[in-house]
Amino acid sequence: MKYIIKEIIDLFFPKKCFSCGKYSEDYICKNCYLKIEFISLYQSFPNKYLNGLFSATLYSGVIRDLIHKLKYNNRRSVSKPLSCIMSSFFKKEIHGKYFFECIIPVPLHRTRYRKREYNQTLLISEKISRDFGIPIEEKLLIKIKDTKEQNKLSREERFLNQKDSFKINKDNTKYGSVLIVDDIYTTGATSYECAKTLKSGGIKEVYLLTLSVRKAESLCRQ
């Protein structure tokens, strides 16, 4: 009950910055917003299955704090400012230059979804979908393995952890170009498996948009 009340207060009366907690008229106060490291990243073919990677920020400071709250502290309302950052980046860097027939939020396994009660990648995708009229396709890609949390695994362990963890709904592979959305790009293990699975189902072009990228060194090809 306390969680529900807090979410309602956060959503309709955002009197405190979601990052620093100080009083603010916006979800993120001006001081914290100025600390966000916007990067406008694009890399073509970051691995052999992805056609391209877009990322809006570096995973540090304010963005790291907000993603952590969204994923691990049940702060669903934090998705509001993050989805605005995603939509602004899409408008500036992607809209009119690339065409996507649908958006695919990286899915959660049903066990993790029941525990969290929402998929954070879906939440940060919704404003792009509304603003640019691109449908969200939640049932095209399915997480079939309840994998370990990635954040405590090595690079090699991350790829093994995600291996063959997705399947495609073959009754719905009508798309030629799709955009996967995720919160963080670190080693690329998750997006590698997502893109591999989608292309195995006949989708020709698969791009990835992430809110953040951990660091430039993570952008090595697979």
211, part of any domain: yes
Say how far apart CA 71 and CA 75 lie, in whole Å. 8
Say how far apart CA 34 and CA 124 lie, in whole Å. 20
Query: Which residue reads 């605005």 in tokens?
Result: 84
25, part of any domain: no
151: CB partners within 8 A, 6+ apart: none
89, part of any domain: yes
What CATH number does the domain containing 94 carry?
3.40.50.2020
85, part of any domain: yes
49, part of any domain: yes
Question: What value does the CA radius of gyration of the chain take, rounded to a whole number of Å?
Answer: 17
Question: Domain range spanning residue 185?
Answer: 34-218
Total count of domains within the chain: 1
Say how far apart CA 146 and CA 165 lie, in whole Å. 8
Residue 150 pLDDT: 80
Query: Do the beta carbons of residue 190 and residue 218 sit within 8 Å?
Result: no
Amino acid at 116: R
Say how far apart CA 92 and CA 86 lie, in whole Å. 10
Say how far apart CA 192 and CA 208 lie, in whole Å. 10
Residue 119, both tokens? 């998929």
Residue 215 pLDDT: 73
pTM: predicted TM-score of the whole model, two decimal places = 0.89
Say how far apart CA 110 and CA 106 lie, in whole Å. 13
Residue 221 pLDDT: 47
Averaged pLDDT in 10-residue chunks for the chain of 222 residues: 58 77 90 95 91 96 96 92 97 96 96 92 97 95 88 85 88 85 94 95 95 71 48
Say how far apart CA 133 and CA 114 lie, in whole Å. 29
Query: Do the beta carbons of residue 17 and residue 30 sit within 8 Å?
Result: no
100, part of any domain: yes
Amino acid at 173: T
192, part of any domain: yes
10, part of any domain: no
Give the neighbor-by-neighbor strand order of the sheet with 205-213: 38-44, 52-58, 205-213, 177-185, 102-105
